[in-house]
Amino acid sequence: MQKAIEKIVDEAVEKFNLPREVIIAVFESPYKCARQKISEAIEDEPDTFVNVRFKKLGLLYADHAKIKAINYARHNRTNKNNEES
């Protein structure tokens, strides 16, 4: 984890008096959710593409190239896992 993020997490732990794991989960969960929704898109069907807007951060825009890259990475990860088994 980057030092700047660690500092933010440490400040949140002190401020909210919650375990570090809970604070990290809260910070990471919106991005995991966005990744999941974007990765559900079907490459050749633009109607399935989902854009995700984060308040005060911006828009994660899903386009054909990004969906293709996600599918390519998923395919390579699956093949690598199958080869190791």
Task: Tell me how far apart the alpha carbons of residues 5 and 8 are, in angstroms, rounded to a whole number.
Answer: 5
Which is higher by pLDDT, 79 or 13? Answer: 13
The pLDDT of residue 19: 92
What does residue 54 show for φ and ψ, rounded to 5 degrees? -105, 125
**For residue 68, what are the domain limits?**
3-84
C-beta atoms surrounding 23 within 10 Å:
19
Under 8 Å between Cβ of 34 and 16: no
pLDDT tens digit sequence for 20-78: 999 998 888 888 888 888 888 888 888 888 888 888 888 888 888 888 888 888 888 87
pTM over 0.75: no
The pLDDT of residue 59: 85
Number of structural domains in the chain: 1
Which pair of structure tokens corresponds to residue 68?
């293709």
